[in-house]
């Protein structure tokens, strides 16, 4: 059974912009899928829809449950979305509180919360950030902490919106390791073809709100395809 399915997902922004025009895709447990496409292709919009932030037409199911306003609370903890802009993600005052927010709401006892927080922060190389103010972090640091807030929830599916943007080479490498090691399924929107090549088993190319290619990572070796979709 697929972990996530999207059927004819169509989204039009309130200002009339057609961002998604009937997207179909399935993601299976443990799969790492790269989501490629030009600026404005609809990658972020798609991830927002899949996480239940935006409400598109069409159907989205997670582990067989159809995503709706009634089921979002139940599905929410299973799907972790890393926003493209970490300022949307970090809302508590200190890093510890922010990362602890999710686990606390899951109703875990304090010692488990603390354990998850320190594990998640250690994973993103931010172990000593706990008492820092989230709004005083640099962009790359915010991005890493934002990732930690999601890892601490231990979701089954990670939706990552440009996880490597603004990371220094060292952090980028570490992030690739995290992605490769985590057992969860991931859908990763990115312009970083090298990352897609390194960690993804499957590639989806989005163009003007439509899936125009969906296949194994070998697609990235197909120069004419990449040229056709202006990815190189």
Partner 1 sequence: MLQPESKTLAIVFYILAVVLDPVLPLWRIVGYLLFLLFFAVLSRASILKIIKRSFFLIPFLLVILIFNALPGGIGPRVYLLLGKGWLAAFGLAALAVSTDFVRLIKGLQRLGLPNVLIQLLTFMYRYLDLLVAEVRRMEIARNQRFFGRGYLRQFTVLGNMLGNLFLRTFERGERVYVAMQLRGFQGYLPITKVAYSWQDYCLVIGALATLALLGVSIICPY
Ligand X SMILES: Nc1ncnc2c1ncn2[C@@H]1O[C@H](COP(=O)(O)OP(=O)(O)OP(=O)(O)O)[C@@H](O)[C@H]1O
Angstrom distances, CA of residue 214 to CA of 27, 86, 145, 225: 11, 28, 31, 12
Collect all residues with Cβ–Cβ distance below 8 Å to 179 and sequence separation of at least 6.
32, 160, 163, 186, 188, 199
Out of 13, 28, 55, 91, name the contact with ligand X by CB under 6 A.
13
Minimum Å gap between C-beta 147 and ligand X is 17
Give dist(CA 32, CA 202) in Å, integer: 7
Which of 1, 17, 47 has its CA nearest to residue 206?
47
- The reply on whether position 228 binds ligand X by CB under 6 A is no
- CB closer to partner 1, 126 vs 151: 151
For ligand X, the binding residue among 39, 111, 131, 138 (CB under 6 A) is 39
The nearer residue to ligand X, 43 or 202, going by C-beta atoms, is: 43
Q: How many residues does the chain have?
A: 232
Q: Does 34 bind partner 1 (CB under 8 A)?
A: no
Question: Is there a contact between 145 and 98 (Cβ–Cβ < 8 Å)?
Answer: yes
When asked if residue 106 is in the footprint of partner 1 (CB under 8 A), the reply is yes
**Contacts of partner 1 in 197-226 (CB under 8 A):** none
Contact residue for Mg ion among 5, 44, 61, 190 (CB under 5 A): 44
Number of alpha carbons in the 13 Å side-chain half-sphere of residue 117: 22
Residues at the site binding partner 1, with contacts judged by CB under 8 A: 51-53, 72-73, 76-77, 79-81, 83, 87-89, 91-94, 97, 100-102, 104-106, 110, 133-135, 149, 153
């Amino acid at each position: 059974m697929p972990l996530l399915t999207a059927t004819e997902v169509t989204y039009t922004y309130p200002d009339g912009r057609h961002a998604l025009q009937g997207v179909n895709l399935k993601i299976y447990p443990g799969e790492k899928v790269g989501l490629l496409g030009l600026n404005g292709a609809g990658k972020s919009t798609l991830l927002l829809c899949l996480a239940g932030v935006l409400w598109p037409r069409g159907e989205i199911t997670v582990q067989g449950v159809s995503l709706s306003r009634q089921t979002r609370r139940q599905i929410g903890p299973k799907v972790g979305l890393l926003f493209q802009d970490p300022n949307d993600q970090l809302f508590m005052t200190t890093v510890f509180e922010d990362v602890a927010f999710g686990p606390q709401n899951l109703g875990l006892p304090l010692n488990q919360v603390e354990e998850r927080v320190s594990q998640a922060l250690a994973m993103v190389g931010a172990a000593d950030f706990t008492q820092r103010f989230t709004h005083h972090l640099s962009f790359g640091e915010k991005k890493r902490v934002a990732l930690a807030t999601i890892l601490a929830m231990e979701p089954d599916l990670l939706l990552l919106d440009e996880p490597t943007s603004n990371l220094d080479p060292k952090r980028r490498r570490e992030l690739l390791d995290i992605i490769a090691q985590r057992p969860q399924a991931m859908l990763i929107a990115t312009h970083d073809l090298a990352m897609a090549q390194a960690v993804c088993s499957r590639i989806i190319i989005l163009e003007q709100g439509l899936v125009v290619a969906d296949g194994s990572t070998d697609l990235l070796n197909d120069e004419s395809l990449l040229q056709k979709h202006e990815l190189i």
